[in-house]
Amino acid sequence: MKIANYELKRPDELETPVLIVYEHLVKKNISEILKIAGSPDKVIPHFKTHKSIQVLRMQIAAGFRSIKCATLREAEVLAENGVSEILIAYPMIHPKKLKRFINLINNFPDVTFKLIVGTPQHLEALSPALKSNNSQIGVYLDLDTGMRRTGIQPGKEALEMYSKISQYSNIIPLGVHVFDGQALYKPDLQERKNIVSETLNSIDQIWEHAQKNNLNISDNVVAGSWTFHLYPDRPNIRISPGTWIYWDSRNATMEELNFDVAAIVLGQVIDHDPQKDTITTDIGSKACSPDQPTEHRFKLIGYPNAIVTAQSEEHGVIKLNGEKISIGDYVLAAPGHACTAVVKYPYSLVSDPSGEIIGKYNHDARDH
């Protein structure tokens, strides 16, 4: 079958729903980010999008040495596979997690691990755990410039928190971490540029404070896929998007970027409701991006007017709006959010450009 630029041989042999990754498009996306960033040293890709050792190897081969992650499982897989700098961008409080982290740093003494902290409680949990092991760790101040998820608000509180980090002998402040998730899905480029410039102002305030008070500061880690290309090329800025590796139908609405959707779901139409002008596919919420609003969970490639109107675990209902798709047809769905599509599958099948399945990427770091 061929839909738009996606070819797939013998879909009858692939039990649906199944995630298929086009390796040549992954490689294209890697060269695209290198074109934008200028050097792999400027990028700390987030591992959570693909969670796969094989894709990690492609990233390492392209020169990426530093990788960001959210879970300890991701950090373990990264350490076991030759990553020299690992940033766990997720606050760690639980004693079991801290113990696991200490084991990790003991098992991989040549790897530089870094963390984020956003409140005094993070420091209070981390410092004794490090002390019991005689370890020291570098951390970024997690600054919340508008997403309202984790991190400290810019201003006086953030400056005080930066000073507070410096009071711990086993926790070294490195700079600022910002995930500016408030820019997600904002089509207006100018609006996103404004978010970036506000974020930079808040970061600069912390740098001024650190330099005035002789506090250690050396670099910042910022951004996801909706802003990374809008940050200026500054020696103290490294960008940390993740979704770029596979891209997805929502990110593809950013007209200024030229990445390709590399991971798609093959599904099949299993029923229809002519009265309602809908078809029902086997791409349910267990198969694709359930974190998104229903209409954005996936887009059927080649049928621009078709819209997802309902999903249950194993069913995806699609309003046709004039498109012609019949029971038994195979469909290719571009996920609305690559990361939360990938995590639904223990592995993806790998296709060459002609649609021949040539292998598998295991989602090695799928669990916590």
Ligand X SMILES: Cc1ncc(COP(=O)(O)O)c(C=O)c1O
Residues that bind ligand X (CB under 6 A): 46, 68, 89, 179, 224-226, 240-243, 339
- Name the minimum Å distance from CB 178 to ligand X: 9
- Name the minimum Å distance from CB 74 to ligand X: 12
- Name the minimum Å distance from CB 212 to ligand X: 28
Of the pair 185, 330, the CB lying nearest ligand X is at: 185
- Name the minimum Å distance from CB 195 to ligand X: 13
Of the pair 69, 325, the CB lying nearest ligand X is at: 69
Residue with the CB atom nearest ligand X in the bound state: 224
Phi/psi of residue 194, nearest 5 degrees: -65, -40
Cα–Cα distance for residue pair 231/77, rounded to 1 Å: 29
Where does residue 134 rank: exposed (0-12), middle (13-18), buried (19+ CB within 10 A)? exposed
Of the pair 101, 259, the CB lying nearest ligand X is at: 259
Count of other CB atoms within 10 angstroms of residue 309: 14
Of the pair 229, 319, the CB lying nearest ligand X is at: 229
Of the pair 49, 348, the CB lying nearest ligand X is at: 49
Task: Give DSSP secondary structure letters for 28-68.
Answer: HHHHHHHHHHSSGGGB--BGGGT--HHHHHHHHHTT--EEE
Cα–Cα distance for residue pair 6/2, rounded to 1 Å: 6
Which residues, 6 or more positions from 310, have their beta carbon under 8 angstroms from its beta carbon?
294, 316, 317
Of the pair 250, 319, the CB lying nearest ligand X is at: 250
First to last CA, the chain: 37
- Name the minimum Å distance from CB 310 to ligand X: 26
Q: Are 139 and 168 in contact (CB under 8 A)?
A: no
Where does residue 274 rank: exposed (0-12), middle (13-18), buried (19+ CB within 10 A)? exposed
- Name the minimum Å distance from CB 44 to ligand X: 9
